C-alpha cells in the first residue's frame, strides 16, 4: 500500500523512495567532500613547496654592497701614461681597493690583519673595477665613490645567516672583522640593496657575484635550437602519418615506435646525443647546439603524438565539406584541418618545450655541466642551462649558494609558468567553434 495520500502532488514520494533519494544525495555530497579534500591537500603541498623555495630564495634577490672611495692612482694603473688597453687590463686593481680600505682603518698595520680586512670585499671587486676603468679610462687620476659587492660572509652576516652570538672560533667572521663591519655600517658605507648582478651575470666562483643570466641565455639558445628543429620535423611527420600515409604494417610499426620513444628515459637520449652529435659529428661540447639537438630527439615524439591527436580531433565533416567542393588533399590539410588543429599543436609543442626546459639528465651526458663564467653569445658557445645551474649550485659547499639555488629554481619556475600561460593563451586565441 502506498503512503502517498491520493491528493498529494506528484513530487511527493513514498518513504522508501525518499530514503533512496536521501542516500543518493548523501553519496553525492560525500564524493564532493573527497574531491575538495584531495584538492586542498594538493594545494597545501604545492603551497608548502613553493612557499619554502620562495622563503629560502628571497635573500638571494638582495645583495650587500660596500661603498668605498677609490683613487684611480696613475702610478698603480698606468705608471708610464701609455693609455694602452693592454696595460690598463694588467694593472693591480686589488691594490687600489686595499688602499681605500687602509685609509678607512689606518690602525690596521699587521699583514695578517690587513688580509682579514680585505676579505670583507668580494674577490671579484677588482674585476668590476677593471671593467669600470676599461669602459672609461678618463677615470685615471680621479677619486670616485664606488659600490663593490661585499664578500659572501659579510653578506650572510647582514642578512642574519651568520649569528653574532656564537663563539668566535665557530664563526666564519672574527670579532675584529665584525667590528670593522659595524664601523663601516655606521659610516653608511654598507647597503643591502637589489641584487642586479644575479640577473646580469653568469656563474661565478663567488656566491656574491654568481648570476643566473648565463644559464637563462644558455637555456634560450638550447630551446631555440630544439624548437627550430623539432617543430617542423614533428608537425610534418605527424601530418604525413595522420593524413597521407596508407594504413599498413609499416605505418603501424612507426606509430608503435614513436609511442615507445615518448616513454624512453631522457638520459638515454643524452647517451645517444653523446654518441652521435659529439663523437660522430664532432660538434663542440657543452654547446646549446648539441643540447638543442639532444632535446629535439626527446621532444619529437611528444610533438608528433600531440599533433596527431589534434589532427585526429578535427571533425570529419570539415574534411568531407572541403573534399566535396573539390579541394585537393593538400588544400584540405593546409587550409582546413591545420588551422583547426593549430591550438592543439601549439599547446603540445609548448608542453614539450617546457619539458625540455626542465630537463637535466641528457644535458649532463653531453657535457653541459661545465663551470662557465661567460654569457654565451650564440648556440656554438659553451653554455649551461637553468636546471643544470640549479644542480651545480646545489652542489656548492658555500653558504651563499644555498639561497642562489632556491632563487634559480624560482627563475626556472617562472619561465615554466610563463610558457604554460602562453600555451593556454594560444589555445584560447586560436580556438574556433564548428
Half-sphere exposure of 67 (CA within 13 A, CB side): 12
Q: Which is nearer to another protein, 112 or 433 (CB)?
A: 433
Which residues of the shown chain bind another protein in the complex (CB under 8 A)? 246-247, 315, 317-328, 331, 336, 340, 432-434
Cα 306 to Cα 238: distance, rounded to the nearest angstrom: 9
Cα 151 to Cα 64: distance, rounded to the nearest angstrom: 8
Q: Which is nearer to another protein, 276 or 318 (CB)?
A: 318
Q: Which is nearer to another protein, 321 or 413 (CB)?
A: 321
Q: Which is nearer to another protein, 61 or 430 (CB)?
A: 430
* Nearest residue to 356 (alpha-carbon basis) of 300, 295, 271, 303: 295
Q: Which is nearer to another protein, 208 or 243 (CB)?
A: 243
Q: How far is the CB of 343 from another protein (least distance, A)?
A: 12
Q: How far is the CB of 312 from another protein (least distance, A)?
A: 14
Residue 143 pairs in a beta bridge with: 71
> In 274-315, which ranges are continuous DSSP H helix?
288-312
With beta carbons less than 8 A apart as the criterion, state whether 224 and 184 touch: no
Q: Residue 337 corresponds to which cell in the numbers above?
A: 584541418
Cα 93 to Cα 118: distance, rounded to the nearest angstrom: 13
Q: How far is the CB of 324 from another protein (least distance, A)?
A: 4
Q: Which is nearer to another protein, 41 or 335 (CB)?
A: 335
Q: How far is the CB of 328 from another protein (least distance, A)?
A: 5
Q: How far is the CB of 242 from another protein (least distance, A)?
A: 12
Q: How far is the CB of 347 from another protein (least distance, A)?
A: 18
Question: What separation in angstroms does the CA of 419 have from each of 54, 387, 393, 395?
Answer: 20, 16, 24, 28
With beta carbons less than 8 A apart as the criterion, state whether 63 and 192 touch: yes
Amino acid at each position: 500500500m502506498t503512503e502517498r495520500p491520493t491528493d498529494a502532488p506528484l513530487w511527493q514520494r513514498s518513504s522508501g523512495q525518499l530514503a533512496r533519494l536521501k542516500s543518493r544525495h548523501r553519496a553525492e555530497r560525500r564524493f564532493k567532500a573527497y574531491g575538495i579534500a584531495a584538492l586542498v591537500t594538493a594545494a597545501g603541498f604545492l603551497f608548502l613547496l613553493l612557499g619554502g623555495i620562495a622563503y629560502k630564495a628571497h635573500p638571494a634577490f638582495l645583495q650587500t654592497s660596500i661603498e668605498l672611495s677609490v683613487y684611480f692612482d696613475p702610478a698603480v694603473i698606468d705608471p708610464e701614461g701609455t693609455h694602452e688597453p693592454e696595460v690598463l687590463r694588467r694593472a693591480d686593481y686589488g691594490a687600489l681597493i686595499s688602499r681605500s680600505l687602509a685609509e678607512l682603518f689606518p690602525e690596521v698595520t699587521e699583514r695578517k690583519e690587513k688580509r682579514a680586512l680585505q676579505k670583507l670585499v668580494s674577490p671579484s671587486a677588482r674585476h668590476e673595477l677593471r671593467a669600470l676603468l676599461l669602459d672609461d679610462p678618463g677615470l685615471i687620476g680621479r677619486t670616485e665613490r664606488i659600490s663593490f659587492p661585499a664578500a659572501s660572509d659579510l653578506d650572510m652576516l647582514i642578512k642574519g645567516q651568520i649569528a653574532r652570538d656564537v663563539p668566535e672560533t665557530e664563526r666564519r667572521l672574527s670579532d675584529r672583522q665584525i667590528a670593522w663591519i659595524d664601523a663601516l655600517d655606521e659610516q653608511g658605507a654598507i647597503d643591502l640593496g637589489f641584487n642586479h648582478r644575479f640577473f646580469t651575470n653568469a656563474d661565478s666562483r663567488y656566491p656574491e657575484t654568481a648570476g643566473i643570466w648565463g644559464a637563462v641565455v644558455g637555456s634560450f639558445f638550447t630551446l631555440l635550437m630544439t624548437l627550430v628543429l623539432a617543430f617542423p620535423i614533428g608537425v610534418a611527420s605527424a601530418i604525413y602519418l595522420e593524413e597521407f600515409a596508407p594504413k599498413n604494417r609499416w605505418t603501424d610499426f612507426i606509430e608503435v615506435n614513436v609511442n615507445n620513444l615518448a616513454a624512453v628515459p631522457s638520459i638515454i637520449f643524452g647517451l645517444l646525443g653523446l654518441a652521435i652529435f659529439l663523437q660522430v659529428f664532432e660538434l663542440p661540447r657543452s654547446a646549446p647546439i648539441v643540447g638543442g639537438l639532444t632535446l629535439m630527439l626527446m621532444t619529437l615524439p611528444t610533438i608528433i603524438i600531440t599533433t596527431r591527436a589534434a589532427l585526429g580531433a578535427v571533425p570529419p565533416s570539415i574534411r568531407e565539406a572541403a573534399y566535396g567542393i573539390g579541394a585537393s588533399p593538400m588544400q584540405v590539410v593546409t587550409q582546413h584541418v591545420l588551422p583547426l588543429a593549430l591550438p592543439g599543436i601549439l599547446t603540445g609543442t609548448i608542453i614539450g618545450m617546457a619539458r625540455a626546459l626542465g630537463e637535466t639528465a641528457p644535458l649532463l651526458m653531453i657535457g653541459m655541466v661545465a663551470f662557465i663564467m661567460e654569457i654565451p653569445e650564440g648556440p656554438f658557445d659553451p653554455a649551461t642551462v637553468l636546471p643544470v645551474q640549479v644542480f651545480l649550485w646545489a652542489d656548492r659547499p658555500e653558504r651563499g649558494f644555498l639561497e642562489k639555488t632556491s632563487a634559480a629554481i624560482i627563475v626556472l619556475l617562472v619561465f615554466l609558468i610563463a610558457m604554460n600561460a602562453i600555451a593556454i593563451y594560444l589555445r584560447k586565441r586560436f580556438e574556433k567553434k564548428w
